[in-house]
Amino acid sequence: MSPLRLAGRTVVITGAAQGQGAAEVTAAAQEGARVVATDVLDEAGEKLAASLRADDLDVRFRHLDVTSPEDWSALASSLETVHGLVNNAGIPMRARLGEVDLTDWNRAFTVNTTGALLGIQALAPLMPVGASIVNVGSVAGLTAHHAVAYTTSKWALRGLSKVAALELGPRGIRTNVIHPGYIETPLMATANPVFVEAHLSMTPLGRAGHTDEVAPLVVYLLSDESAYVNGAEITVDGGYAAHGGVKAITNALDTGSA
């Protein structure tokens, strides 16, 4: 039997109570990590952690609002060493350019971008050589997507990730970004059916992705197998971003909402 890839490592994962985050928690724990699963969804988070502990996996839940410097400081104070941080927490803001209000615009950035910044600032001082940060972006951060606040916040996350790769790299800490496409998660449950149909029609593999098709990539980036991967951006989207056909989604949404 091959050794567990994350044995002896402490990994913090945000937005971990459900969906993609929960799959990442499970995958990291199955590879031997001591996982601190964080979220604002306390009931779901506690239930997930308890179910994984029942399988003899080392997972504990902690309430964390990624927009709160105080929550991050308290988390950092409870830990001695952090080998991995997965900034998975994110929220959708689906308003178009002419409709988005400033409150929603700012909220998208506060959670999707500033939350990752605060996590890096709080936990990087606890990271040894070989530690890894994985930021969860989106194919929306690679194209001109229709949801302006969400899209722009994910583009900004790419910039943050590049700076972190540059500045933390000399300490032996790697920072990479993954860009999921349409993945079946609770976040997508409220998506406009017109959007879903149009998006999947432009995905070369012709189907939605699943959380267990994203989590193994996160494990890889947390592990020593990716020891020379730093500042990379990797899509998990069935080929969607490869051909840049987002205009068809915009046209379909305009027709579907007429």
Per DSSP bridges, beta strands 84-87 and 59-63 are unpaired
pLDDT of residue 257: 60
CA–chain centroid gap for 17, Å, is: 13
CA–CA separation, 200 vs 130, rounded Å? 37
Domain count for the chain? 1
High-pLDDT (> 70) share of the chain, %:
98
CA–CA separation, 238 vs 255, rounded Å? 25
Lowest mean pLDDT among 25-29, 32-36, 95-99, 201-205: 201-205
The whole domain housing 232 covers 8-254
High-pLDDT (> 90) share of the chain, %:
82
Catalytic status, residue 150: yes
Other CB atoms within 10 A of residue 119 CB = 25
Domain CATH for 169: 3.40.50.720
Q: What is the DSSP string of 195-217?
A: HHHHHHHT-TT-S-B-GGGTHHH
Whether 2 is covered by a domain: the verdict is: no
In the set 150, 182, 220, 240, the catalytic residue is: 150
CA–CA separation, 114 vs 120, rounded Å? 10
Whether 1 is covered by a domain: the verdict is: no
Whether 3 is covered by a domain: the verdict is: no
Whether 177 is covered by a domain: the verdict is: yes
Element containing residue 133 per DSSP (H, E): strand 132-136
Other CB atoms within 10 A of residue 237 CB = 23
pLDDT tens per residue, range 172-184: 999 999 999 999 9
H-assigned helices in the chain: 19-30, 42-53, 69-77, 102-109, 115-123, 148-168, 193-201, 215-222, 247-256
Whether 80 is covered by a domain: the verdict is: yes
According to DSSP, residue 141 is labeled G
CA–CA separation, 167 vs 184, rounded Å? 34
CA–CA separation, 139 vs 241, rounded Å? 6
**CB-based contact 9:110 (threshold 8 Å):** no
**CB-based contact 13:24 (threshold 8 Å):** yes
Phi, psi for 78 (deg, rounded to 5): -90, -5
Say whether 218 sits in a helix, a strand or coil.
helix
Other CB atoms within 10 A of residue 227 CB = 11
pLDDT tens per residue, range 50-75: 999 999 999 999 999 999 999 999 99
Orientation of helix 19-30 relative to helix 215-222, angle to 10°: 50
pLDDT tens per residue, range 217-248: 999 999 999 999 999 999 999 999 998 777 67
CA–CA separation, 173 vs 170, rounded Å? 7
Whether 59 is covered by a domain: the verdict is: yes
Whether 118 is covered by a domain: the verdict is: yes
